[in-house]
């Protein structure tokens, strides 16, 4: 018993030296008043409750800081081409290219896409040739060693909005507009992120100050982005008469950018389905062949005939 009391006193002193002043005073008062085991249990429950509340507040603070640094987690949208056997909405790709041309191309390049890539996907060959002929491309040198300009053709890439990175930063207040050729693959949760970013502009909440020239968007890392809100209802007049709402334009341009990042997706899915079908037939044949060849060994019986 004496040993037990000594251990209890040592533990009490250790707890008082490491615990907060409030809990230490509660323990001292409990010892002085001679409260029983019920009081000790209540004190432990109070301490655990305080620790839980403190941990919850710390977790909330860390989560808020992480959202401010890396951007708000964007929702998951049901894209029609995400299924195993689903394909792109080619009408949406055509509308998305129109949104890119009229809204995005003035600042963002798509250096990996040629006009011929659009043939059979969103436009006919004649439409694409007429579209490419509207731009002028510096080519050469000619026989005299000089550069010249010519109308664009199907093999040309989409035109660059700026001659170099320095010119792009100067025109955009120091910010460099990224190339959009692979943007849905270059960003985490790419399609959902791009859609949430384009449609996620808000007024800054109370207590949040945004520097002049920047715009508040909770989905952008840091919450402040140099690009202003570009998708406004009616900003584009669709050729097929589809209402050009903010959400519709965002969905269409994301479909176009998804196709630009993975133009082989439909062919890859179709080829994968064909391979699965062929391998399934081969598996059935292999199973039948194994059953046929091993049936003798698997079903044989050894009989011992004792001769007297």
What domains lie within the chain, and their CATH numbers? 69-111+164-280 (1.10.760.10), 114-156 (no CATH)
Between residues 66 and 224, the one the model is more confident about: 224
Distance CA 207, CA 224 (A): 14
Q: What is the pTM of this model?
A: 0.73
pLDDT the model gives residue 13: 60
Burial (CB count within 10 angstroms: exposed 0-12, middle 13-18, buried 19+), residue 205? exposed
Q: Is 74 annotated as a binding residue?
A: no
Distance CA 212, CA 170 (A): 16
Q: Is 107 annotated as a binding residue?
A: yes
User: In this structure, are residues 219 and 196 in contact, taking their beta carbons and an 8 Å threshold?
Assistant: yes
pLDDT the model gives residue 298: 78
Q: What residue has token string 């050009």?
A: 244
What average pLDDT does this structure show over 235-244?
Answer: 95
pLDDT, tens digit, 9 for 90 and up, residues 77-130: 999 999 988 999 999 999 999 999 999 999 999 999 999 999 999 999 999 999
pLDDT surpassing 70 at residue 31: no
Percent of the chain's residues with pLDDT above 90: 65
């Amino acid at each position: 018993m004496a040993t037990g009391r000594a251990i209890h006193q040592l533990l009490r002193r250790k707890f008082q030296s490491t615990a907060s002043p409030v809990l230490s005073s509660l323990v001292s008062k409990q010892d002085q008043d001679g409260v029983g085991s019920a009081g000790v249990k209540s004190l432990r429950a109070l301490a655990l409750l305080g620790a839980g509340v403190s941990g919850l507040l710390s977790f909330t603070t860390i989560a808020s800081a992480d959202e401010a640094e890396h951007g708000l987690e964007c929702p998951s949208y049901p894209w029609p081409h995400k299924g195993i056997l689903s394909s792109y909405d080619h009408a949406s790709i055509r509308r998305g290219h129109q949104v890119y041309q009229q809204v995005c191309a003035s600042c963002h390049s798509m250096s990996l896409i040629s006009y011929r890539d659009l043939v059979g996907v969103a436009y006919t060959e004649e439409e694409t040739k007429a579209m490419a002929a509207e731009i002028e491309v510096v080519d050469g040198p000619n026989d005299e060693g000089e550069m010249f300009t010519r109308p664009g053709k199907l093999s040309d890439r989409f035109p660059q909005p700026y001659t170099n990175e320095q010119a792009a930063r100067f025109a955009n207040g120091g910010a460099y507009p990224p190339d959009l050729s692979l943007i849905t693959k270059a960003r985490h949760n790419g399609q959902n992120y791009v859609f949430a970013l384009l449609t996620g502009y808000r007024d800054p909440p109370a207590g949040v100050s945004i520097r002049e020239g920047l715009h508040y968007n909770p989905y952008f890392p840091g919450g402040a982005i140099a690009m202003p809100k570009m998708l406004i209802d009616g900003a584009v007049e669709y050729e097929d008469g589809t209402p050009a709402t903010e959400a519709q334009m965002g969905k269409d341009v994301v479909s176009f950018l998804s196709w630009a990042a993975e133009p082989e997706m439909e062919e890859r899915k179709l080829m994968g389905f064909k391979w699965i079908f062929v391998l399934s037939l081969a598996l059935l044949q292999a199973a039948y062949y194994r059953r046929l060849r091993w049936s003798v060994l698997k079903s044989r019986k050894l009989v011992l005939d004792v001769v007297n």
